[in-house]
Amino acid sequence: KAGVTQTPRYLIKTRGQQVTLSCSPISGHRSVSWYQQTPGQGLQFLFEYFSETQRNKGNFPGRFSGRQFSNSRSEMNVSTLELGDSALYLCASSPTQQGGGRDTQYFGPGTRLTVL
């Protein structure tokens, strides 16, 4: 099976712009989670989608949003970019067989966002 794919891999934006990142999960996986990785904060949970519904959200401002399509592909959007949004954004998919956070998450390669 193909792994989790993320596009684009690298992105440079300026403050105030908005950005959309895309994630295609492993075939058959219906849950997609998004994470932000920064050197100071480590890997932080943004949100999780299952069957086109956001099931959980981390402690991020409303500028961060996401959605999931019927084919389980997911996008996340960051509006009004700030310098502090520079980070590696990872998505992960899981098969949701056991539920309750007991399923392994499979990570994509990430999108490196730089905000100038």
Partner 1 sequence: ILNVEQSPQSLHVQEGDSTNFTCSFPSSNFYALHWYRWETAKSPEALFVMTLNGDEKKKGRISATLNTKEGYSYLYIKGSQPEDSATYLCAAPEGGGADGLTFGKGTHLIIQP
In DSSP notation, 32-55 reads: EEEEEEETTTEEEEEEEEETTEEE
Q: Give least dist CB 80 to partner 1, A.
A: 24
Among residue numbers 25 through 84, which ones bind partner 1 (CB under 8 A)? 31, 33, 35, 42-45, 47-48, 50, 55-56, 58-59
Opening angle at CA 1, ends 25 and 19, nearest 5: 25
Q: Which of 24, 21, 1 is nearest to 10 (CA)?
A: 21
63, 104, 114, 116: which one binds partner 1 (CB under 8 A)? 104
Which residues are at the interface with partner 1 (CB under 8 A)? 4, 31, 33, 35, 42-45, 47-48, 50, 55-56, 58-59, 90, 92, 94, 96, 99-110
